[in-house]
Amino acid sequence: MKPFRIIFMGTPEFSVPALKALAAQEEYEIPLVVTQPDRPKGRGKKLSPSPVKQAAQELGIEVFQPERLNTPEGIARLSGLAPDYFVVVAFGQILSQEILDIPRVYPINIHASLLPKYRGAAPIQAAVLNMDQESGITTMVMAKGMDTGDMLLKSRTKIHPEETAQDLHDRLSQMGADLIVKTINRLNGEGITPEPQDHDQASYVTMLKKADGKIDWTRSDRAVCAHINAMTPWPGAFTQISGKRLKIFKALPGPPKASDVNPGEIISLDSDGICVAAGENCVLVLELMGSSGKRLTADAFLRGNKIDLPAQFE
């Protein structure tokens, strides 16, 4: 039987497990991987390939890196390969309808939320930030709107209260790899009836900015901790004390606070952590980073950075 031809499009680390899972299937053929051009990275601003490009090269698959895919050249390159499917995972470019019409069966997107919830660029962080009980992966037929296409399959997972966006990202990345193989196998076998999304239930999340990491101590202890988890690893949750910025990586809900204590006020400093008043109860800061640029436990941080009480996080 002739193998199914899949053109894969993706860029960041999140996309790599899906590419590897598809490449491991004997009944699939991946003639081309499309990813973003090499970008400057690090202090030296040296051009670096995307994680997907590196994975494709290791797998021996041809790589195409257009600055813009929606061009006559891009369309000709893709259509000339006569693909059965596109599989798109965090590629980073909007595809025109002309490109979406190329695959014989479907262009399929792997999205890191339970659609129609959290369409857009930061669904993983949104789920952690909003203290959702669960998240998941949706495979869908791509449409021109942002994550508006008909759904194919879903896979769900519980979110632990102490989980960071990075933790959930890693789990969902592997779940996406498993689900895309299951989706294409089902489409090639008994079939799947695409399910339209309820657009009235849709919510959108935009790309995060560095400023989104600022901690609002007037929120509850649970909300502050969820914010820290959601911003880890990027853009990073931060606060300030005496004009100096501190990045906070790990915190837990703490004990109740007295009614006359202001949000952001540091209650105590000891080997267990830095106890900070929130809008409701306290937050126990366990890991942070100051000007040294090193991620430290609160105990290690305090040995090198004296904080005299009374003190206040801004």
CB 68 within 8 A of CB 93: yes
Considering the entire predicted model, what is its pTM?
0.95
What are the structural domain ranges in the chain?
Answer: 4-205, 211-304
**Pair of tokens at residue 210:** 């560095």
pLDDT tens, 249-267?
999 999 999 888 999 999 9
As a whole number, mean pLDDT of residues 117-127 equals 97
Distance CA 116, CA 198 (A): 7
CB 31 within 8 A of CB 62: yes
β-strand partners of 204: 119
Map residue 227 onto helix, strand or coil.
helix
Check residue 126 and give its pLDDT.
98
Map residue 43 onto helix, strand or coil.
coil
Check residue 221 and give its pLDDT.
97
Distance CA 134, CA 156 (A): 7
pLDDT tens, 202-216?
999 999 999 999 999
Residue 95 has pLDDT above 90, yes or no: yes
CATH superfamily of 211-304: Formyl transferase, C-terminal domain (3.10.25.10)
CATH 3.30.365.10 fits 4-205, yes or no: no
Residue 68 DSSP symbol:
-
Residue 94 DSSP symbol:
P
